[in-house]
Amino acid sequence: MLRIYVWLYVAFLYAPIAIITLFSFHSSPALTFPFEGVSLRWYAKIFSDATFMASLWNSVIVGASTALVTTILGSLTALGLARLKGRIQTLFGLLAFGPVALPGLFLGIALVMLFSQIGLQRSLVTIIIAHVLFTLPFFIEAVRSRIEYFDLSLEEAARDLGATPLQTFRLVTLPIIGPTIGGAAILSFALSFDEFIITVFVSGNDTTLPLTIWSMMRRAVSPDINAASVISLGLSIGLILIGGLLVWYQRRLALSARAKDMEA
Amino acid sequence: MSTPNIVELYGVTKAFGALTVLHDIDLTIQQGEILTLLGPSGCGKTTLMRIIAGFEATTHGRVTIQGADVSYLPPDKRPVNMVFQRYALFPHLDVFDNVAFGLRLKKWPKERIREAVQHMLHLVQLGEYGNRWIHELSGGQAQRVALARALVNSPSVLLLDEPLAALDLKIRHHMLAELKRIHQETGTTFIYVTHDQDEATILSDRIVLMNKGRIEQIGTPEEMYAHPRSLFCARFLGETNILTGAVRAAETDTTYVDVGPGTVKVPANGAAVAIGQNVSLAIRPEALQVSRLAPGGAGGDGVNALDGVVEDVVFMGSRVVYSIRTSVETIKYQETRSVDGIMLAKGEPVRASWRPDAAVLLTH
């Protein structure tokens, strides 16, 4: 019984992905079986679509900028939070994580009002600001538990052994919490990359990938949407793989450097 | 190194907000000694060590190391190194890189670093462990790496913050012997923080007993044991019997104290005592002489003697500890076990007596 349930569950989760992926390679525009043949024509079509390519590029820019800003702000916040004590730590922890509970709709409207009040034109910049706001709580929460677990006496040990505060950060703090921060940065990119609701409100003439796909859907359900979705899916998965590889490669590098030292 | 005092503290006071944890501490530490800061938790011993290391600033007072005032130097500029309570080894580095950390910051050439680290790993008997990861080490091994990582920098003073607290008893005793050996081989001055009086007495050249942010007494372990200057010191180091009573008479060399029905003669301790003043007497359990009383022959309590009944007998291998209930206090008596076995049985009437100079007069 349980086994059947698990299989059904897996099918429910992954069948849509499999079907979309399959039909993105379909040689005919039909979105139903029988499957007539394999072709890349929808990909060719979507890649030659200037609107699509522009929004894809926009999404990459927004995602990367968001990840960068969020990583800097979020790391500093998490490092600061770890040094607070008692009730104040709880309070600031809640304040930092609280925005997760805000509906995207609310955040979007609030931001639009704010931007118009301070006279900021809606553009990719406003999207980035909104996305930083949206991803920051997730980033802090992902990094915080690791940083709180970080033994501050490690930093004292480094200082004791002659490291300046900056050297301590570079040689001890960063290498230990770095992989966690890298993972959280990729999470921020992924969150930004497919954020939709807030983006609807704060975007101007330049749109991001989810907005473009949505407007394509409104016109007609066409097979090139499948291709677009698969590209978006592929980018997300690829990014996570790259993140994982980076961590793995760093470890490899450290290991081989050690082996070389031993030979010397 | 013109001064034999390697560390000098002058009027060191430390307050955290309204709470003063160190009151006006004056202390000198001599070149090459093992000095222990001993005391119960919260007595300020760890704060004092952190002030010497540079992790805490003094509220008032000065710290000098090798004659130079370091009161305002950050920890990385002070010629001391520390062994942390929970080791604080860098988890992203292996044993070799942990030990090499300080020397690399000093920009030593690679070849010299390798030699120094290997030498130090051999000293702590971990010669083959250079490329182990930290999480692969046992507690005792991690402790040795922490020791090597600090000592490789040839510090003027090595600070040890309860380094054995996280180890189990057997390894702890072994590590104490190791610490003594390493101290002898390197000749480095050790400042050792602990709340464990056994560790302090086994290891130290001098003990600084601290209580509530003040120094209670400084001395060699033997001095502290034989001549405690306060009730706190007498109780903190080793087992002791405390008798209380009022002063009956005070001569130049001798004080007479009424304890229960009898009188106790005790050497004066130099402090002025008034007739009728309440004082305490400390007598170590092994300083008593205990003899059987003939049944019915109890002659009452005399000078420096208390009659009582054996209440409990605890056999501890090489020694036996008796509890004797007397009219004033239940006292402990300890003797070396004789080849004939345990001498006294529960319920036996006995007389406990002691030489006048076996008791210490305590006025506070």
Work out the minimum CA distance from B193 to partner chain A, whole angstroms.
17
* Residues B193 and B255 reside in one and the same domain: no
Whether residue B292 is contained in a domain is answered as no
User: Across the A/B interface, how many CB contacts are shorter than 8 Å?
Assistant: 69
- Same domain, residue pair B199 and B306: no
Task: Give the gap in angstroms from C-alpha B184 to the nearest C-alpha of chain A.
Answer: 23
Is the CB of residue B133 less than 8 Å away from at least one CB of chain A?
A: no
Residues B169 and B222 in one domain: yes
Asked if the structure places residue B73 within a domain, the reply is: yes
How confident is the model at residue A184, as a pLDDT?
83
Comparison of pLDDT for B232 and A251, the residue scoring more: B232
Say whether both B198 and B50 belong to one domain.
Answer: yes
The pLDDT assigned to B254 comes to 87
Same domain, B129 and B168: yes
Average pLDDT score, chain A: 82
Among A151, A155, A160, pick the best mutation site for testing chain B contact (most B Cβ within 10 A). A160
**Is B307 in the same domain as B183?**
no
Closest-CA distance of chain B to residue A154, Å: 5
Same domain, B220 and B319: no
How many residues appear in chain A? 264
For residue B120, the domain's CATH number is 3.40.50.300
> Is B16 part of a structural domain of the chain?
yes
Q: How many domains does chain B have?
A: 2
Query: Does residue B331 carry a pLDDT above 60?
Result: yes
Q: Residue B35 sits in which domain range?
A: 5-232
Tens-digit pLDDT profile for residues A70-117: 999 998 888 888 888 788 888 888 888 888 888 888 888 998 899 888
Give residue-wise pLDDT tens across range B194-223: 999 999 999 999 999 999 999 999 999 999
Point out the domain boundary residue: B212, B232, B252: B232
Please indicate, yes or no, if residue B319 is contained in any of the structural domains: yes
**Range from A82-91, B73-82, B182-191, B276-285 carrying the lowest mean pLDDT:** A82-91
Say which of B97, B105, B149 has its CB closest to residue A163: B105
What percent of chain B stands above pLDDT 70?
97
B143/B251 same-domain check: no
pLDDT at A236 over 90: no
Highest mean predicted confidence (pLDDT) among A20-29, A51-60, B280-289? B280-289
Does the structure show a pLDDT above 60 at A141?
A: yes
Q: Which of A150, A161, A174 to mutate to test the interface with B (most CBs of B within 10 A)?
A: A161
Based on the fold, state whether residues B217 and B333 are members of the same structural domain: no
Residues of chain A contacting B131 with CB distance shorter than 8 Å: 258, 262
Residue B294 lies in a domain: no
Summarize the confidence of residues A128-148 as an average pLDDT: 85
A255 touches chain B (CB under 8 A): no
B179 with B278, same domain?
A: no
Q: How far apart are CA B68 and CA B73, in angstroms?
A: 11
- Both B20 and B109 in one domain: the answer is yes
Confidence class for position B2, pLDDT limits 50, 70, 90 = very low
In a domain, B86, yes or no: yes
- What confidence score (pLDDT) does residue A89 get? 84
CATH code of B327's domain: 2.40.50.140
pLDDT in tens, A185-215: 888 888 888 888 888 888 877 888 888 888 8
Cross-chain Cβ contact A151/B53 below 8 Å = no
Q: Does B226 lie in the same domain as B77?
A: yes
Residue B293 lies in a domain: no
All domains of chain A in start order, with CATH: 52-257 (1.10.3720.10)
pLDDT, average across residues A154-173? 93
Tens of pLDDT, residue by residue over B20-76, are 999 999 999 999 999 999 999 989 999 999 999 999 999 999 999 998 999 999 999
The rounded distance, in Å, linking the Cα atoms of B310 and A230 is 89
